[in-house]
Amino acid sequence: MERISALPDPIIREAVTRALGEDIGPMDITSHHFVPSKTQAQATMLARQEGVLAGLPLAIYAFRELDPQCRIETYLHDGQLFSAGTVLLKIEGNARAILSAERTALNFVQQLSGVATLTHRFVQATAGTATQILDTRKTVPGLRLLQKYAVVCGGGKNHRMGLYDHFLIKDNHLTLLTTQELRDRIKAARQAHPEATIEIEASSLEQVKTFSSLDVDVLLLDNMDLSTLAQALQIIGGRIKTEASGNMTLDRVAQIARLGVDYISVGALTHSAPAVDISLEFQVLGLD
C-alpha cells in the first residue's frame, strides 16, 4: 500500500491548468472589463473554521500561472492543523491575475482540506489502537491522486491507486470461480506480479474459513457487524492481515479498531468530505 507524501509537479501542473481553463475559458470578462490592467493587490487566504490543510501547492501554482511575478508568503504547510481565523497564505501581485485565479485556488484548498480534515477525525477516532485508516477508489474521476494525497495529509493511508497495482478479488469475481480455480489463479497471479498485494473479500464466516487458508496477504471483511467481525478475527487468528469495510462512521470505526483489525477502509473520506470554509480577503494596493 503506497503513500502519496507529495504531489509531483506534473500532477499539479495538469490539474491546475485544466481547472483554470475550465473556469476562465477564453477570458475572465469581469476582471478584464472592470479591473485596470496594472492594478496591484494583496490577498489573504483565511480559514473560517478549523481543519487540516491540503492543496496549498495547487493554489500557489494557480496564482503563479497567471502572474509569474507575484509574491507569495505561506504560513502553514499541507498536513498541519489550523483553527478559525488562521492566515494560510498571502499574495501580492496583479489584481486581475489574483481575481482570475481566486476560485480555482480556493476550490482546491477547500475541497482537499475537507478530505484531510475528515480523515484526521477518523484517525483520531482510532487513536490508541494499531488500526490504520485507508481510503478507497471512490474518488472524483480525474482527481484521485489529489484526493489520496489529501488523505495522507490527514494522517490516513492509501489503499490501491487503481486496478493496476493491487489485487482485490471481490464478490463479483468470486461468482465466476470454483475454490480450486481460485487457488490456481491466486498462484498464477502471485507469479505474474510478485510485488503486488493480493486481497480477497469475505462477506460471511464460511468464506472467512475458506479464504483464510489461501495464499493471500489481506482478508477484506465486508459489511460485518461487530459480533461477526470478532468471530472472523478469531478464525483468522492473526495469520493474515485484515481489513474491515462497509458503512463506516466515526463511532463504528472506534469500536471496530478495538477488535484488532489491521485496516479500516472508508469511502466517505473522498466521496463525502465537506469542504472547509476558507476565503480570500482582497485589498487594492494601487497601480504598478
- The residues that are catalytic are 103, 138, 170, 201, 222
Nearest to 135 by CA among 273, 242, 268, 280: 268
Place of cell 477508489: 137
User: Which cell numbers in the block locate residue 151?
Assistant: 488523505
* Residues 276 and 29: beta-carbon distance below 8 Å: no
| Angle in degrees, CA 238, 242, 246, rounded to 5 | 150
d(CA 151, CA 137) in angstroms, rounded, equals: 12
Q: How many other CB atoms are there within 10 angstroms of residue 251's CB atom?
A: 9
DSSP E strands, 75-204: 81-82, 87-94, 132-134, 166-169, 197-202
Q: What letter represents residue 283's amino acid?
A: Q
